[in-house]
Structure 1
Amino acid sequence: MTPSGFLHRALHGPADPPLRLLPPPVAELLRSLGAPPRLAAHLRAVHDVAAQLVDWTERRYPDIAVDRAAVLFGAATHDIGKTVHVAELSGPGSSHEEAGRELLLAHGFSPDMARFAGTHASWTAPGVTLEDLLVSTADKVWKNKRVAGLEDLVVARLAEATGRERWEEYLALDDLLVHIGDGAEYRLAFQASFPVHP
């Protein structure tokens, strides 16, 4: 299969279980950048998990205003800087964070939307929103990785907004993340089925 064929399949092909498609402007940007197919598959998996997190938040907390579009965009683009720093797809590194923010700004996306490329890895920074925390959580739990400090921040925001006890919010979030984590092997297999290099 050609590199563009792999990228097309990562963006639009079937997955088992099904994964939501990326927002069309993001898919088009990834195509125009000649993104690595594995990156597109990763962004699609994290985007799908972010949608599950937002769905749950909207159902459980109807009085909390969550910018659904921002969370889904953030999840769909959080690692877009890896089109520049491809080595960070299979190895450590944080150069993709600022590169991703700059890339999104250069392509006409607002600073408010481009911020997720940086905040997905810095959830303790001042001014981090619930939307930022949801994107960060999706970027971990898609592969069933649990980060206690990150989850504690989400729980604290939810408890503060609702007036409920933290333990109650922790149990509710934990149930959701266990459920999402159960699908990690399928998402990991989907991502692994695509080449790292375009």
Structure 2
Amino acid sequence: MTSTPTDLLTRALDTPGEPRLRPLPPVVAELLRSLEAPPRLAAHLRAVHDVAVDLMDWVRDRYPELAVDRDRVLFGAATHDVGKVLHPGELSGPGSAHEETGRDLLLSHGFGPALARFAATHADWDAPGVTPEDLLVSTADKTWKDKRVPALEDRLVAALAAATRREPWEEYLVLDDLLTRLGAGAAPRLAFQAAFPVRT
């Protein structure tokens, strides 16, 4: 029995298998269905969102003084690559056309600039005006596959140290421990994503 693109997208969004990934926010899942998103994109967004939940739980517990909007970060993680709906070649190869396209796509579907921005900022953490929320979305987008980016981590450490007035080295040690633990779950997340086709 052959699966239809709709079946595959539904499985990418809803399957409770291994790894046990949390579902995307309902508004994001509905958006992906309405866009007939490639199943692999839905699987990828779900994996990054799942890591972002763990990351934000850690931020909530360790950094109550850090001014970040949890729901905004989780939305950003769940939609950061949505522009790949219109640039599916970037699901399996390099490219940045999806970034501005993703922001514009979200804006055209009624999401405000504060939410749509992550689609454009998730790969540009050195840009002026980058916020701790942007850095957290970018970190989730790397950590899901156990990729470490020192320049990104340095920016996040600086933001954490500024919020807590603790030494940067202390914040680096705890962040490093967290990212190591989250990164250890990369293999099943990568396998989950790879199980879905790039094109519908």
Q: Same fold (TM over 0.5)?
A: yes
1:28-68 Cα distance to aligned partner (Å, 9 max, x none): 01001000000000000000011111000010112222200
CA distance in 2, matches of 1:120, 1:98: 11
Q: In the aligned structure 1, how far is the partner of 2:118 from the partner of 2:124?
A: 10
The residue type paired with residue 32 of structure 1 is: S
Q: Could you tell me whether the CA contact under 8 Å between 1:58 and 1:66 is conserved in 2?
A: no
State the one-letter code of the partner of 2:6: S
Task: Measure the CA separation in 1 of the matches of 2:18 and 2:125.
Answer: 31
- Alpha-carbon distance in structure 2 between the residues aligned to 1:44 and 1:11: 7
- Measure, in 2, the Cα distance between the counterparts of 1:15 and 1:117: 28
- Cα displacement (A) at 1:145: 0.2
Could you tell me which amino acid in structure 1 is paired with residue 118 of structure 2? Answer: F
Alpha-carbon displacement from aligned partner over 1:92-146 (angstroms, at most 9, x marks no partner): 0000001100000000000110000010000011111111000000000100000
The structural deviation recorded for 1:17 is: 2.6
Q: Paired residue for 1:76, among 70, 75, 78?
A: 78
Moved more, 40-49 or 9-18: 9-18
Give the CA deviation at 1:4.
Answer: 0.4
Q: How does 1:61-140 map to 2 (within 5 A)?
A: 61-140=63-142
123-132 or 35-44, larger mean C-alpha shift = 123-132
Task: Find the partner of 1:32 among 26, 31, 34.
Answer: 34
Cα drift, residue 15 of structure 1: 3.1
Partner of 2:194: 192
Give distance in 1, aligned partners of 2:161 and 2:65.
13
Q: Tell me which amino acid in the other structure corresponds to 2:125.
A: W
Matches of 2:58 and 2:111 in 1, distance apart?
A: 27
Q: Spell out, residue by residue over 1:126-182, the C-alpha distance to the aligned partner (whole angstroms, 9 max, x if none).
A: 111111000000000100000000000000000111110111000000000000000
Structure 2 equivalent of residue 183 of structure 1: 185
Where does residue 163 of structure 1 map in the other structure? 165
TM-score by length of 2: 0.98
Distance (Å, rounded) in 2 between the aligned partners of 1:85 and 1:64 = 35
TM-score between both structures, scaled by the size of structure 1: 0.99
Q: Give the whole-Å Cα distance in 2 for the aligned partners of 1:9 and 1:126.
A: 39
Q: Which amino acid aligns with 1:153?
A: R
Q: What runs of 5+ residues in structure 2 fail to find an aligned partner?
A: none
SS at match of 2:51: helix
Aligned residue type for 2:96: S
Q: What is aligned with 2:23?
A: 21
CA distance in 2, matches of 1:23, 1:55: 16
Gaps of 5+ in 1: none
Q: Which residue does the alignment assign to 1:58?
A: 60
